[in-house]
C-alpha cells in the first residue's frame, strides 16, 4: 500500500514523501521492484537512483537495492519533485543562463520571476521559460516531455540570483541528495534593518508556517514544531540604520533568511511580508522619510540576492562554483546608503567612525 505522506512545494528543496506498508502475504521481492510495481508514475530506474542516494528506508535503516521486502515492512521513499503537469506550457521568457551542459543548468533568476506554477501564478514562471529553453515550442504542453528540466530547489519570487536546475533524472537525484545532505554551498547578500551587534554569528531555530498567517513563516525556538534551520551571517558593511550582510545557508527552509533575520530583530530591508517595508531604525523627520521612500522605490522588493552556488557535478564529480554580480536595483540601493552615510555625522557615530 502506498501513501503520499507529504508534498510541500513551498520548501526550497522540493521533495515528495511516500510510505509503503508491505502486505502480510507478500513474498520476498527486491525493494526497487516492489516500490516500482506499487507506483504508477515512477520508473524502476528512478527508484534505483533514489536507493543509491539513500532515499529509501525501512524504519531508520537506509536500504540497498538488494534488500528483499518482508510482510509488514514499513518503507519510506523520498523523491525530488517531478513536475510534468498538463497546464505547464512553454513560454518564450528570457533567461540569463550562466552555465549549461548535458546535466545541469545554472540560471541567474531575475527578481519578480516565480519559479513554478502555483496559486495565482499559472503562467509566466521559470518552469514555463525552461520548457521553451529546452526546445519545446511556445504554447505547447511540457507534460511528459523528457527535454523538460527538473527543479532541485527554489528561491522566492522577489529574490534574485543563482538557481541550479537538473536536465535529467540522474542529475536531479544526484543534485537533490546534496541539498538534502546540506553539502551545497549557498551564499546570499542581504540588507537588513538595524546595526547588528556582532560582526558574525549563527541563527538556529525551527521554521514552520505561522498559525496566524498562512503566508508567513516563523521560528519555533523550542523545537515543538517546524523543521530545523541554520543560517550563518557575516557583516559586509554597516550603514548605521541598516547593515549589509552575507548569509550562508546550512539548511534550506522556506523564507529561511527572511524569517531568521526577523527573528533576531533585523528584518530584510523592504520585505513587506516580514515588516521590513516601513521605517524600523532612524529618525522620523520628513527628510529621512523621503530618503527611505526613495530607497524603497529604488529596490521595490526585499533586499536579498542569491550570490553564490557550489556543488559537485553529477557526471564529472568535479566541484563547480558560480558567483553572480548584484543586480542593478541592489547596487543602486547600496550606493544610496553609502552617500547617506558619508554625509551624516549621526550615522558615522553609530558606525564608530
C-alpha cell at 267: 528584518
In whole angstroms, how far apart are CA 332 and each of 41, 262, 299, 338?
48, 23, 8, 10
C-alpha cell at 177: 541528495
**pLDDT per residue over 85-111, tens digit each?**
557 899 999 999 999 999 999 999 999
Contact 33, 65 (CB under 8 A): no
pLDDT at 299 over 90: yes
In CATH, what class is 97-180? alpha beta
Is the torsion defined by CA of 129, 135, 137, 143 positive or negative? negative
The DSSP call for residue 273 is G
The residues that are catalytic are 156
Other beta carbons within 10 Å of 336: 17
Following DSSP, what letter does each residue of 128-184 receive, concatenated?
HHHHHHTTPPTTSB-TT-TTS-EES----TT-EEEEEEESSHHHHHHHHHHHHTT-S
Distance between CA atoms of residues 134 and 165, nearest Å: 12
**pLDDT per residue over 206-224, tens digit each?**
998 898 888 899 999 877 7
* CA-closest candidate to residue 242, choices 352, 353, 111, 351: 351
* CA-closest candidate to residue 242, choices 201, 203, 296, 204: 296
Query: Do the bridges between strand 68-69 and strand 29-30 make them parallel or antiparallel, or are there none, so unpaired?
Result: antiparallel
pLDDT at 313 over 60: yes
- Range with the poorest average pLDDT among 38-42, 55-59, 192-196, 214-218: 38-42
Q: What is the pLDDT of residue 91?
A: 95
Distance between CA atoms of residues 313 and 108, nearest Å: 18
Indicate where the chain has its CATH 3.10.290.10 domain(s).
2-80
CATH topology of domain 185-350: Pseudouridine synthase (3.30.2350)
Domain 2-80 belongs in CATH node 3.10.290.10? yes
Q: What is the pLDDT of residue 3?
A: 44
Neighbouring residues of 351: CB distance < 8 A, sequence distance ≥ 6: 195, 238, 239, 240, 341
Indicate where the chain has its CATH 3.30.2350.10 domain(s).
97-180, 185-350
Q: What is the pLDDT of residue 201?
A: 97
**pLDDT per residue over 33-48, tens digit each?**
888 888 877 778 888 8
C-alpha cell at 200: 558574525
Distance between CA atoms of residues 249 and 203, nearest Å: 10
Amino acid at each position: 500500500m502506498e501513501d503520499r505522506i507529504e508534498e510541500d512545494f513551498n520548501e526550497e528543496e522540493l521533495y515528495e514523501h511516500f510510505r509503503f506498508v508491505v502486505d502480510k502475504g507478500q513474498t520476498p521481492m527486491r525493494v526497487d521492484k516492489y516500490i516500482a510495481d506499487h507506483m504508477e508514475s515512477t520508473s524502476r530506474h528512478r527508484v534505483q537512483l533514489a536507493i543509491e542516494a539513500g532515499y529509501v528506508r525501512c524504519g531508520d535503516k537506509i536500504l540497498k537495492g538488494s534488500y528483499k521486502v518482508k510482510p509488514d515492512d514499513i518503507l519510506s521513499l523520498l523523491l525530488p519533485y517531478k513536475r510534468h503537469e498538463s497546464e505547464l506550457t512553454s513560454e518564450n521568457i528570457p533567461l540569463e543562463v550562466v552555465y549549461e551542459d548535458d546535466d545541469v543548468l545554472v540560471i541567474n533568476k531575475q527578481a519578480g520571476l516565480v519559479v513554478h506554477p502555483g496559486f495565482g501564478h499559472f503562467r509566466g514562471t521559470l518552469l514555463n521559460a525552461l520548457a521553451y529553453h529546452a526546445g519545446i515550442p511556445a504554447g505547447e504542453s511540457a507534460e511528459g516531455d523528457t527535454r523538460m528540466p527538473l527543479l532541485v530547489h527554489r528561491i522566492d519570487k522577489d529574490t534574485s540570483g543563482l538557481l541550479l536546475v537538473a536536465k535529467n533524472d540522474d542529475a536531479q537525484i544526484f543534485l537533490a541528495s546534496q541539498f538534502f545532505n546540506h553539502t551545497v554551498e549557498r551564499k546570499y547578500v542581504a540588507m537588513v534593518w538595524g546595526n547588528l551587534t556582532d560582526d558574525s554569528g549563527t541563527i538556529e531555530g525551527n521554521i514552520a508556517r505561522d498559525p496566524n498567517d498562512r503566508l508567513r513563516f516563523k521560528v519555533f525556538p523550542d523545537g515543538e514544531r517546524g523543521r530545523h534551520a541554520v543560517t550563518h551571517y557575516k557583516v559586509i558593511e554597516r550603514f548605521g540604520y541598516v547593515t549589509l550582510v552575507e548569509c550562508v545557508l546550512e539548511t534550506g527552509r522556506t523564507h529561511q533568511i527572511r524569517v531568521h533575520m526577523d527573528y533576531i530583530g533585523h528584518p530584510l530591508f523592504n520585505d513587506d511580508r516580514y515588516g521590513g517595508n516601513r521605517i524600523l531604525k532612524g529618525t522620523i523627520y520628513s527628510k529621512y522619510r523621503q530618503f527611505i521612500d526613495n530607497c524603497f522605490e529604488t529596490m521595490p522588493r526585499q533586499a536579498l540576492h542569491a550570490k553564490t552556488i557550489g556543488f559537485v557535478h553529477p557526471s564529472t564529480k568535479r566541484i563547480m562554483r558560480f558567483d553572480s554580480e548584484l543586480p542593478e536595483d541592489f547596487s543602486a540601493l547600496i550606493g544610496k546608503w553609502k552617500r547617506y552615510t558619508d554625509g551624516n555625522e549621526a550615522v558615522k557615530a553609530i558606525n564608530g567612525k
